[in-house]
Amino acid sequence: MTKEIAVSGSRPTGFIHLGNYLGAIRNYVKMQDNFSCYFFIADYHSLTTHYEAQNLPQLTREVLATYLACGLDPQKCVIYIQSEIPQIPELYLLFNMLAYKGELEKVPTFKDKVRSQEQSGRSISAGLLTYPVLMAVDIIVHRATKVPVGKDQEAHLEIARNLANRFNYQFQTTLFPEPYGYNDGSDLFKVPSLDGSGKMSKSATNPNSAIYLMDDDTTIRKKVMKAKTDAGPTESNQTKPEEIQNLFDLMQLVSSSEIVQHYETQYNNCNIRYGDLKKQLAEDMVQLVAPIRNNIHDLMKNEEYLKKVVRDGAEQARQSADATLQAAKKAIGIHYF
Ligand code: AMP
């Protein structure tokens, strides 16, 4: 039986954090046994917001080492760097002819980025506007149907489906299947930040709001203990304010169900001590992060191995991408002799 195809990637714009791991990379690791998987480092994507790319080589190697440290196995999945696959920008050019300016301007992440870039006096590039086209191409270049990503990517996936369908309709083909987000049978979700609101993110202004997989144990404990809380519940079964709900959501992701239940009961009985909850949360995060961090450090020392993984991965990814690109060009009519 042929396996379904899965694709996903992370931008090398900073250290990988628990949001990336729990929202996406943990699923990559689970999927590599049952799907035909392509996982990449989205270096071109990082240029849409981080054009000063002097840290790109180091960050790219770190994301690669992180993928491997989390459990990706190059014998089971294809791991590559986006810019090493020339078929991607070529297909991106073709899909830019099909994408509408209006639909791209409506994407919520584009609007957010415009707001923050304008505040800091930066111009908005065409690359930022067409980010969802590049992301659509990343997926459909392997004709993937499953995309393990966090909830923040839903609008981009919708554009990818629209573009796949538009191409098929325009050129009377069935070349591109519709890609959907994947979270092991459950809905996509967002890992919250530690500063009371919003999602955990690489670009947060508060350095304590994200737990990075490279953080040492002391840093993890310090960050969690600084997380915002309130004065505590005053009535039984009270609705939790956002900052408290976020801590419970994080606990749900890293702690056992007995531990979560224990603190839920305390909250509902109004006898919760947030200090204890945070200590427990920090310890469970340390348990999760420490072995991955140690693996990252070991892998970063083995540059030859890292190089070989992406050299082999790029070869396989180029083969898959080229088959799609040639079929797409043929469907459009770009084949002359
Ligand atoms: P990025 O860091 O934007 O390149 O994201 C890499 C992957 O991590 C994407 O699949 C995102 O959807 C996912 N991701 C990033 N932040 C979060 C978060 N806070 N919660 C869930 N998933 C996330």
For residue range 93-136, list pLDDT tens digits in order.
Answer: 999 999 999 999 999 989 988 998 888 888 899 999 999 999 99
108 domain-assigned: yes
pLDDT value at residue 261: 98
Q: Residues of the chain with pLDDT > 90: what percent?
A: 89
Residue 99 domain-assigned (yes or no): yes
What tens digit of pLDDT does each residue of 24-50 get? 999 999 999 999 999 999 999 999 887
CB-CB neighbours of 319 under 10 Å: 12
Nearest-10 Cα torsion for 59, 129, 79, 167: -170
Residues 164 and 252 in one domain: no
- The number of domains in the chain is 2
pLDDT of residue 337: 87
**Are 110 and 237 part of one and the same domain?**
no
Q: 121 with 246, same domain?
A: no
The pLDDT of residue 1 is above 80: no
Q: Is 329 a residue of the active site? A: no
**pLDDT classification of 157: cutoffs 50, 70, 90:** very high
Same domain, 214 and 146: no
3 state DSSP class of 81: strand
Whether 176 has a pLDDT exceeding 80, the answer reads yes
- Centre of ligand 1 to C-alpha 320, Å, is 25
| Domain that includes residue 257, residue range | 207-297
List, chain by chain if needed, residues with CB within 6 Å of any ligand 1 atom. Answer: 8, 10-11, 19-20, 23-24, 149-150, 152-153, 190-191, 199-202
In a domain, 315, yes or no: yes
- Examine the domain organization and report whether 92 and 16 are in the same domain: yes
Average pLDDT over residues 260-285: 97
CATH of the domain at 251: 1.10.240.10
Give the model's pLDDT for residue 51. 66
Whole-structure pTM value: 0.95
Q: Looking at the structure, do residues 107 and 121 belong to the same domain, yes or no?
A: yes
Band the pLDDT of 197: cuts 50, 70, 90.
confident
Residues 159 and 215 reside in one and the same domain = no
CATH number at residue 15: 3.40.50.620
Q: What is the pLDDT of residues 76-98, one digit of tens each?
A: 999 999 999 999 999 999 999 99
Confidence (pLDDT) at 274: 97
Q: Considering the domain boundaries, does residue 190 fall inside one?
A: no
Kindly state whether residues 232 and 262 are assigned to the same domain.
yes
> How far is ligand 1, taken at its centre, from the CA of residue 197, in Å?
16
Q: Are residues 258 and 288 in the same domain?
A: yes
Q: pLDDT value at position 206? A: 85
Task: Return the higher-pLDDT residue of 239 and 206.
Answer: 239
Q: Kindly tell me if the per-residue pLDDT of 292 is higher than 90.
A: yes
| Ligand 1 centroid, distance to 185 Cα (angstroms) | 18
Q: Answer yes or no: is 268 within a domain.
A: yes
Ligand 1 pocket test: which of 7, 10, 37, 203 has the largest number of ligand atoms within 8 Å of its C-beta? Answer: 10
What pLDDT shows up at residue 205? 77
Is 199 considered catalytic here?
yes
d(CA 304, CA 55): 20
- What residue owns the CA closest to ligand 1's atom 14? 20
The per-residue DSSP string of 134-194 comes to HHHHHHHTTT--EE---GGGHHHHHHHHHHHHHHHHHTT----PPPEE-STTS----PBPT
Q: What percent of the chain has pLDDT over 70?
A: 100
Q: Specify if 67 maps to a domain.
A: yes
Both 67 and 84 in a single domain?
yes
Question: Are 313 and 229 within one domain?
Answer: no
Give the Cα separation of 139 and 312 in Å (integer).
20
My answer on whether 37 and 135 are in the same domain is yes
Catalytic residue among 30, 76, 106, 113: 113
Selected catalytic residue, list 146, 202, 223, 228: 202
Is residue 282 included in any domain, yes or no? yes
Whether residue 191 is contained in a domain is answered as: no
Q: Quote the ligand 1 centre to 273 CA distance (angstroms).
A: 31
Residue 72's pLDDT band, with cuts at 50, 70 and 90, is very high
For residue 145, is pLDDT > 90? Answer: yes
Atom index in ligand 1 nearest the CA of residue 9 equals 6
